[in-house]
Structure 1
Amino acid sequence: MNEHLAPVTYLRDARRAGTSTEGDVRRDGLREHPSARRTSSPPVEQAVGATARGDDGDDARSDERTGKRASNVSMHQLARRGMSRWELEQVLAKREIDPAIAEAELDRLESVGLLDDAALAVTLVYTQHTRKGLGRTAIAQELKRRHIDPDIIEDALAEIADDDELERATELAVKRIGQMSSYDDDTVKRRLNGFLARKGYSSGVVRQAMDAAFASRGKRGVRFQ
């Protein structure tokens, strides 16, 4: 009795026909399940990702260049003369340095002691008083012009003792009165008073300095009320 056998479908035939029931047939004759196939990112997504990474890198390099420029500008300015934080901030703003980067550079300079409003104030008090002969009022105005904190100004001005201020004012008055020997006393008084007042001395210091100046000229007994 003849047995009827089911028709055989060879693997290569199934591969050609695309009729695999469990998945594709690999070259070695084994079937591969569809879930095992690897997928790649769509070209558009790859392009977007690459662009985003490139933008971040460009931004980082740009910030680094700006930071170096801010540092170079700052060091150049501080090498020329002492500056307050506000003054240097204005310079960086004029150079169109990004405010956030400028702020970071100012903080860095303060942290290493290259930018110090308190030290600058003391230096200015000394130079303005000793070399230029300015009184407390004029010095305070100069420090305010440079936007130094009022508390710092007050502490710096305390470096000038009352006796030192009177002594400096008297030196200026004596020198000045020696240049006005041809004028009468009233004219000398008016001009000397205006000169010392412009130097920033208080009215009390001005009166004492003028008394000493007239005394040095042989006009003892003359006092100004």
Structure 2
Amino acid sequence: MSESWRGDVAAGVEAWTRGVSGDRTGPPAPRSRPTPPAEAVPDPVADGPPADPEAVARKILLDQLTGQARSRQELSDKLAAKNVPTDVATRLLDRFEEVGLIDDEAFARAWIASRQPGKGLARRALGQELRRKGIDDEVAKEALDEIDPADEQEAARGLVRKKLRSLSRVDDTTATRRLVGMLARKGYSSGVAFSVVREELAAAGRDEPEPDASR
């Protein structure tokens, strides 16, 4: 009796493998047919015309300015990172300046108003931050000149008083070194730093150590 799969290689392999596994009953399983590839769904966005660079740049600028002022340099860097053509970026930045959406002078004043009392930063540290923001040195100087020296010194005192609470277990020499170093990192000159630290240590009942004459 001839086997039902004879003459069909695929069916023969199927029958043989069933025989190896011990299942010799039943006809061979039908061969599966390959599933045809699904047709690609058209993407109207990807297949549409290329985006207008000026419209893209305008949206980037408006998104960046939503809820927060930014310097012209910050916005220029953002447009460059998005590969906006230079001529398009310059034209839009100029236009945004004309209508007052970009104002580096106002930005500098607002930055100082938020960072000087909040972080206790001195003029020098604030100037470095504005420079990193791309603010012109002359524009930054005019804004920094508006800082009241008394406010700057009061900010330094606040920093020292707060830090002193964590230095109750260290000697006065160590406390002085740490406090002066902290103020230096905030941009205060050594003269202002030592003066404020000396006065605050005295107010807290601690005396600043005398300088080591052997040094």
TM-score by length of 2: 0.71
Deviations for 1:47-75, whole angstroms, at most 9, x for unmatched residues?
xxxxxxxxxxxxxx97x922111110000
Change (3 A) 1:141 1:196: same
Contact 2:122 2:186 in 1 (8 A): yes
CA apart distance, 1:84: 0.9
Matched, 1:91 2:78: yes
CA apart distance, 1:82: 2.1
**Distance in 1 between residues matched to 2:87 and 2:104, nearest whole Å:** 21
In structure 1, the residue matched to 2:181 is 194
**Distance in 2 between residues matched to 1:94 and 1:214, nearest whole Å:** 50
Matched, 1:77 2:89: no
In structure 2, the residue matched to 1:211 is 198
Matched, 1:116 2:85: no
Alignment of 1:123-134 (within 5 A): 123-134=110-121
CA apart distance, 1:224: 6.7
Contact 1:211 1:223 in 2 (8 A): no
Contact 1:137 1:201 in 2 (8 A): yes
Deviations for 1:125-179, whole angstroms, at most 9, x for unmatched residues?
1111011111111101000111110001100101211111111101111111121
**Distance in 1 between residues matched to 2:189 and 2:202, nearest whole Å:** 20
Contact 1:70 1:97 in 2 (8 A): yes
In structure 1, the residue matched to 2:144 is 157
Equivalenced residues, count: 164
Q: Given the alignment, which residue of 116, 122, 127 partners 1:140?
A: 127
| Larger gyration radius, structure 1 or structure 2 | 1
Matched, 1:106 2:93: yes
Report the AA paired with residue 76 of structure 1.
D
Q: Aligned Cα RMSD in Å?
A: 2.0
Contact 1:211 1:222 in 2 (8 A): no
**Distance in 1 between residues matched to 2:202 and 2:69, nearest whole Å:** 40
Contact 2:173 2:208 in 1 (8 A): no
Contact 1:214 1:222 in 2 (8 A): no
Contact 1:174 1:216 in 2 (8 A): no
CA apart distance, 1:219: 2.4
**Distance in 2 between residues matched to 1:65 and 1:192, nearest whole Å:** 55
In structure 1, the residue matched to 2:156 is 169
TM-score by length of 1: 0.68
Give the 4+ runs in structure 1 shifted more than 3 A. Answer: 220-225
Contact 2:124 2:187 in 1 (8 A): yes
In structure 1, the residue matched to 2:22 is none
